[in-house]
Every structure is written in C-alpha cells, then in structure tokens.
Amino acid sequence: MIRKLGTFVEFGVFGEPAVADWTIIGDRKELNIHGSHLGPYRYPLAIDYLTKGLIRGDLIVSHKIPLENFKDAIKIAEDPNSNSIKILIIP
C-alpha cells in the first residue's frame, strides 16, 4: 500500500520484461516512482576497497571457472539449486 503522493522504489533485476499498470499514478494517487539498480558510484568504491584489502572478495566467490569453460559458469549461474554467490571466470 502506498499513500497518496507517496513514493515507490522498484529495486531489482529481472530475467524478462516486467509489466505493471501504473494508471493509478495520475488517476488517484499521484505517486512518485523510482527505479533502482544498485547505487550510483558503487563500483569504483567496491574496487577501491578490494584493492586496499579492506574487504575480502574471496569470501563471496563460490565458483572459479576457467575461461574456456565459461558455458559451465553460465549454467551454474542459471541453476537455482547451485547455491552460487559469485562465479569467477579465470582468463
């Protein structure tokens, strides 16, 4: 539920197009709609933290796959039963 003049933030990544009926925005509630996919400027900050050793990236890497087996990495990432977190493809 969103109150009149409220704000809705959609955060997510979808495997296929998502459809929503937003006619309620202008007709009844005049909502503010925001889309989000991670925060801006986060990649440079994360890379800096990794480089400085402030965070350990190895704790989130669940699989290490050689580049020539990249198709296996894709299959693992797509498999909901793989328990993968981050898959590292090694050149």
Is residue 48 located within the same domain as residue 27? no
Is residue 28 located within the same domain as residue 46? no
Residue 49, domain member (yes or no) = yes
For the chain, the domain total comes to 2
- pLDDT of 26 over the 90 cut: no
Residue 28, domain member (yes or no) = yes
Is residue 14 located within the same domain as residue 46? no
> Model's pTM, two decimal places?
0.47
Is residue 30 located within the same domain as residue 68? no
Half-sphere exposure of 52 (CA within 13 A, CB side): 7
Residue 1, domain member (yes or no) = no
Q: Which two tokens stand for residue 36?
A: 């989000």
pLDDT in tens, 1-17: 788 888 888 777 667 77
Q: Which domain holds residue 21?
A: 7-36
